[in-house]
């Protein structure tokens, strides 16, 4: 598990570094028109450190459609092969409304949808002459949809690095193992 997580973080850091390189060509006129006054772009890539510690690393891409609005996609995938880990993956598109003075920063509220894939473990038990025996283990995978929300704060540095903290949750619909999903995070990333 540690080796997979180390490789995942290394690839993420290399991709952030690759996106942060600037090119000076004459065709960049359109790109500079879409940038804010301080030269930071409209795209952002982040990793959720809190979910990584829990064992469900989350990578997020966000695109700013206005100075105070953004849409994004978070993808969390379990790297652990633990028997008791029920959530295997979460795909979560979201919309955010920002209330800060800088572009897409400060306090925000978020509305989201989720596609959650979970694993349920079932044991079959039977009794014989007063003794309990455990038979086969059955695994059932379920995919459920849900809606939720979150609130949080995003801090933006002059060089484009961002940090954010948020808290929320959502409700899953259908035949699911859990009735809710968490939306928590302490994320670091880069705007480009």
In angstroms, rounded to a whole number, what is the distance separating the alpha carbons of residues 63 and 43? Answer: 5
| pLDDT for position 120 | 73
| pLDDT for position 16 | 56
Q: What is the reported pTM?
A: 0.71
In angstroms, rounded to a whole number, what is the distance separating the alpha carbons of residues 163 and 189? Answer: 7
Provide the token pair at 129: 């002459």
Provide the token pair at 108: 């925000």
Residues of the chain falling short of pLDDT 50: 1, 24-37
CATH T-level topology, domain 2-20+43-191: Porin (2.40.160)
Domain ranges in the chain are: 2-20+43-191
CA-closest candidate to residue 189, choices 105, 120, 115, 89: 105
| pLDDT for position 175 | 75
| pLDDT for position 5 | 57
| pLDDT for position 85 | 54
> Residue 52 — φ and ψ, nearest 5°?
-65, -40
| pLDDT for position 37 | 39
- For 145-182, the pLDDT digits (tens) are 999 999 999 999 989 999 999 999 999 998 777 788 89
**Exposed (0-12), middle (13-18) or buried (19+): which is 19, by Cβ within 10 Å?**
middle
| pLDDT for position 79 | 79
In angstroms, rounded to a whole number, what is the distance separating the alpha carbons of residues 153 and 63? Answer: 17
């Amino acid at each position: 598990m540690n080796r997979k997580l180390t490789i995942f973080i290394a690839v993420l850091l290399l991709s952030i570094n690759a996106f942060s390189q600037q090119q000076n060509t004459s065709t960049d006129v359109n790109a500079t028109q879409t940038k804010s006054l301080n030269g930071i772009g409209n795209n952002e890539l982040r990793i959720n450190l809190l979910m990584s510690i829990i064992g469900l690393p989350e990578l997020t891409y966000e695109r700013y459609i206005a100075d105070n609005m953004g849409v994004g996609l978070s993808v969390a995938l379990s790297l652990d092969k633990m028997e008791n880990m029920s959530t295997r993956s979460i795909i979560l598109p979201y919309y955010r409304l920002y209330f800060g003075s800088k572009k897409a920063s400060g306090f925000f509220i978020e509305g989201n949808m989720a596609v959650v894939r979970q694993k349920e473990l079932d044991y079959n038990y039977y009794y014989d002459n007063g003794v309990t025996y455990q038979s086969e283990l059955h695994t059932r995978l379920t995919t459920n949809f849900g809606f939720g929300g979150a609130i949080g704060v995003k801090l933006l540095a002059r060089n484009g690095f961002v940090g954010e903290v948020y808290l929320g949750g959502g409700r899953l619909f259908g035949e699911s193992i859990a009735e809710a999903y968490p939306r928590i995070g302490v994320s670091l990333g880069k705007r480009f």
